[in-house]
Structures are given as C-alpha cells and as structure tokens.
C-alpha cells in the first residue's frame, strides 16, 4: 500500500461527473451509480479492510473545468484513480493530466473509438459494440438512407464517420449531415426538421447529447413525422434523456446499448432496484450508469488483488478479473483497455420504456480501432451464441 493511503486509512479516489450543465442529466446517474457501488463495497468491509473514500467535484459539463478539477484531484487531493467523464471532449481534456501524473481514469461512457491510453480504462461501448448492431437492425427494418444530426463536438463527428462507413458498406446513402450547438433548444432544430421533410430519409441517426436531446425529439414530434416508419436512432438517447420528454414524444425511437433498466435478468433487477431504492421509482437508470457502477467494482477487485491503488499495480490485475455486471459478465481486454460487453437493440414503447427488439446474445470483444470494420463480424469472444437478426427479441 502506498504511503498516502496508509496515512489516511482509506482508498481515496476522484469522482468527476457533472451535476450541472448540458449533460448533467445523464452524468448525475453516473455519479449516483458510482456512489452506490462505493457504498456497497464499504458496507461489505471495504477493500482489504479500508473504505473507499470518494472525492467528488462538479465539473459543470465543461472541458476546462474537467481539466482543472483533474489537476486538483491528482495534485492537492493526491488521488491516483479517477472515475469520470461523459462527453468525449471532457475525456480528451482530462487524459493528458491523468497521463502526466501516471494516474488511471475509468471512463464509463459509449464513445467514438479510435483511442488507446495506458492510463484509461474504457467501460462504455466502442462502435463495434453498439453502432454496428444498431446499423444492422435499422438496415433490415427501416432502410439505409440516413440523415445525420449531431451536437457540435468531437463525438458526433467521429461517430458519424463510423456510421457513414457502415451505411456505405450496406449500399446505402447519407442524405445530409448537420450539427447544432451543445445547448440547442427546439428552434435550433428547425433546419433539421426542414431537411428531414425535404430528403425523407429512412432513419435519422442522432448524435445529439444531453438536454438538447428532448428538444430535438419534441421538434420531430411537433413536425408530425412518424417514428414507426422513420425513427430517430441514437446511441446517446438513453433513459436519462428520455426522462426529459413525454412518452408520446419518445415512442418508436431506437437505440443500442449493453444495458437497459427494463432488462429482466436477476443481476440487472438487483442493480436497478438498489438504484431506485435510493433515488425513487421514476429515477432513470441508463447504460452509462451501469458502466459507472460496474467499473468501481472492477477497480475495487483489482486494488484488492494488487494490495495497492498504484495504477502501475492495479492495471495488470484488471485484465484478469471477470465481474458479474448487471448486463452480464464483463472483463477488460489486456491489449486495448476496453471492455467485453453485451450489445442489445431496443425501441421505446408507449410508456417511454426501452423494450429490447434484438438481443444478439453474445459478448462482444472490444475493437476500438474497428480493425474488423464489418457489419457481420463483431469479434465475439465466443461467450453466448449469436441469434440471427430476425429472431424474436430476448
């Protein structure tokens, strides 16, 4: 054990999720899920008889604040392990600080891929674990003429590049691509609505994030489009964003993620019930929160094996641990620091709840650089047996 933690008699860790600003809705769920996992671990005796002590700051959805608070955590607060970040712009602001201190960031959010840092553990989905499955489902059920609408920052640009490749691979077409400000309101989507009317795409792939999401879906509904025929598909519209819209606005739209709060497995129900017991029955529990939760358990198990919170010693232990996460058994890939995950595709029902419409039933090896950029080969690690696309949902 290093001197700092021994002197404090706790495992001090940093927690950086926004409680205010554009993406605070989903980041608050990541914060609460992180604290739930820490409380569970501490209630069971902590790690090697010492509690985990979170140092929590609010970086206000701002890359600049994220960076300043990461400096503070690693300097003044002397933590070595940090759990945090939603937007890729904030991860990219924090990572150089983490790297210069030889610390370790646990990042629990789906992202655009094409990144590796020895100092980052990626527990959200890479494109081969969500974009590919969503695209396949959409091509089969809706068509392959896509329009792309995104927030104006790095994730939407890069995620759209991946989706464009998949659409072209299928023989389809991108009819238009446009971006709105991060804090867009309903009126910012007037141009998108006009373009949808003009070009009549089969699918609108949205990379709009945070509070602007509900504004987009409301504008779409107000324009009279029919999601049953022409849905919005988005990897960044989860339970937290849907909580901001009436059910009739949400109904019919789609996403892909490894976890949904409606997932019926015993492990998923346990997690969702524990979260809602603290925050109320109506509290949304998205995949971003599930990853925030299981990554704390993975880190705790690695600290216990290493006998230290020193990233140099924690990192090699992480790859040897399998954890029974709410979504299914997960583990970190030793070569790329990303996570083996269980993709599922879901559609919002009339109550505004995600119902799984395609459960491939396989755990998918992370391929962040899309080395296998194929719609048909997702690098499954052989856990589970793949169901064909048209099979009933599970």
Give the side-chain half-sphere CA count within 13 A for 72: 14
What angle, 0 to 180 degrees and rounded to 10, lies between the N-to-C axes of helices 131-141 and 154-169?
50
Reduced to 3 states (helix: H, G, I; strand: E, B; else coil), residue 41 is helix
Question: Side by side, which strands form the sheet with 254-257?
Answer: 173-180, 145-151, 203-207, 232-234, 254-257, 344-348, 354-358
Cβ 337 to ligand ACM, closest distance in Å? Answer: 16
Nearer to ligand ACM, 17 or 225 (CB): 17
Nearest to 380 by CA among 365, 394, 359, 367: 365
Nearer to ligand ACM, 155 or 260 (CB): 155
d(CA 284, CA 93): 27
Q: Which of 88, 128, 206, 234 binds ligand ACM (CB under 6 A)?
A: 88
> Is 111 one of the binding residues for ligand ACM (CB under 6 A)?
yes
Site string for ligand ACM, 338-377 (x = CB under 6 A): ----------------------------------------
Phi/psi for 317 (5° steps) reads -75, -35
The tokens describing 172, both together, are: 């389809």
* CA distances in angstroms from 229 to 124, 237, 346, 388, listed in the order given: 30, 19, 16, 23
Cβ 386 to ligand ACM, closest distance in Å? Answer: 27
* Residues in binding contact with ligand ACM, number by CB under 6 A: 8
Q: Which of 50, 87, 256, 292 binds ligand ACM (CB under 6 A)?
A: 87
Nearer to ligand ACM, 15 or 50 (CB): 15
Nearer to ligand ACM, 65 or 88 (CB): 88
Stretch that binds ligand ACM, among 97-105, 106-114, 226-234, 375-383 (CB under 6 A): 106-114
The tokens describing 375, both together, are: 């719609």
Let me know: does 315 contact 335? Beta carbons within 8 Å. no
Stretch that binds ligand ACM, among 107-115, 131-139, 252-260, 334-342 (CB under 6 A): 107-115
Q: Which of 236, 272, 327, 359 binds ligand ACM (CB under 6 A)?
A: 236
Pairing of strands 203-207, 173-180: unpaired
Pairing of strands 81-84, 52-57: unpaired
Cβ 85 to ligand ACM, closest distance in Å? Answer: 8
Let me know: does 43 contact 300? Beta carbons within 8 Å. no
Nearer to ligand ACM, 109 or 327 (CB): 109
Nearer to ligand ACM, 86 or 146 (CB): 86
CA torsion sign, 258 to 261 to 264 to 268?
Answer: positive
Nearer to ligand ACM, 85 or 309 (CB): 85
> Is 189 one of the binding residues for ligand ACM (CB under 6 A)?
no
* Helix (H) / strand (E) containing 137: helix 131-141
Question: Side by side, which strands form the sheet with 81-84?
Answer: 52-57, 11-16, 81-84, 104-107, 120-122
d(CA 348, CA 238): 10
Q: Which of 24, 42, 61, 109 binds ligand ACM (CB under 6 A)?
A: 109
Cβ 274 to ligand ACM, closest distance in Å? Answer: 25
Nearer to ligand ACM, 155 or 340 (CB): 155
Nearer to ligand ACM, 152 or 199 (CB): 152
> Is 257 one of the binding residues for ligand ACM (CB under 6 A)?
no
Cβ 154 to ligand ACM, closest distance in Å? Answer: 7
Site string for ligand ACM, 126-165 (x = CB under 6 A): -----------------------------x----------
d(CA 390, CA 392): 7
Cβ 111 to ligand ACM, closest distance in Å? Answer: 4
> Is 209 one of the binding residues for ligand ACM (CB under 6 A)?
yes
The contact set with ligand ACM (CB under 6 A) reads 87-88, 109-111, 155, 209, 236
């Amino acid at each position: 054990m290093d001197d700092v933690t021994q002197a404090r008699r706790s495992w001090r860790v940093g927690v950086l999720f926004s409680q205010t600003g554009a993406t605070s809705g989903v980041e608050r769920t990541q914060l609460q899920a992180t604290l739930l996992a820490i409380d569970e671990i501490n209630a069971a005796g902590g790690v090697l008889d010492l509690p985990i002590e979170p140092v929590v700051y609010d970086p206000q959805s701002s890359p600049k604040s994220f960076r300043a608070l990461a400096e503070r955590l690693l300097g003044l607060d002397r933590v070595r392990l940090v759990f945090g970040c939603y937007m890729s712009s904030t991860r990219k602001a924090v990572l150089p600080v983490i790297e210069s201190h030889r610390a370790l960031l646990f990042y629990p959010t789906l992202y655009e891929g094409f990144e590796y840092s020895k100092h980052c553990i990626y527990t959200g989905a890479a494109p081969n674990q969500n974009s590919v499955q969503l695209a396949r489902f959409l091509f089969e059920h809706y068509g392959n003429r896509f329009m792309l609408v995104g927030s104006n920052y790095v994730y939407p640009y890069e995620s759209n590049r991946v989706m464009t490749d998949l659409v072209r691979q299928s023989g389809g077409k991108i009819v238009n691509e446009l971006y709105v400000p991060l804090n867009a309101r309903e009126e910012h989507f007037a141009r998108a609505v006009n373009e949808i009317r003009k070009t009549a795409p089969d699918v609108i792939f949205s990379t709009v994030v945070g509070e602007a999401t509900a504004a987009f879906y409301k504008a779409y509904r107000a324009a009279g489009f029919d999601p049953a025929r022409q849905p919005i598909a988005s990897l960044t519209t989860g339970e937290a964003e849907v909580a901001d819209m009436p059910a009739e606005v949400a109904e019919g739209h789609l996403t892909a993620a490894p976890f949904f709060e409606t997932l019926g497995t015993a492990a998923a129900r346990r997690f969702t019930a524990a979260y809602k017991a603290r925050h109320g029955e109506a509290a949304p529990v998205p995949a971003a929160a599930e990853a925030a939760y299981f990554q704390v358990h993975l880190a705790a198990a690695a600290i216990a094996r290493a006998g230290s919170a020193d990233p140099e010693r924690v990192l090699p232990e992480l790859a040897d641990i399998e954890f029974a996460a709410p979504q299914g058994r997960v583990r970190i890939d030793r070569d790329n620091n990303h996570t083996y995950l269980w993709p599922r595709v879901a559609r919002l029902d009339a109550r505004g709840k995600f119902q799984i419409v395609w459960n491939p039933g396989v755990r998918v090896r992370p391929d962040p650089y899309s080395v296998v950029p194929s719609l048909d080969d997702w690098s499954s690690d052989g856990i589970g047996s793949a169901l064909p696309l048209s099979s009933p949902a599970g």
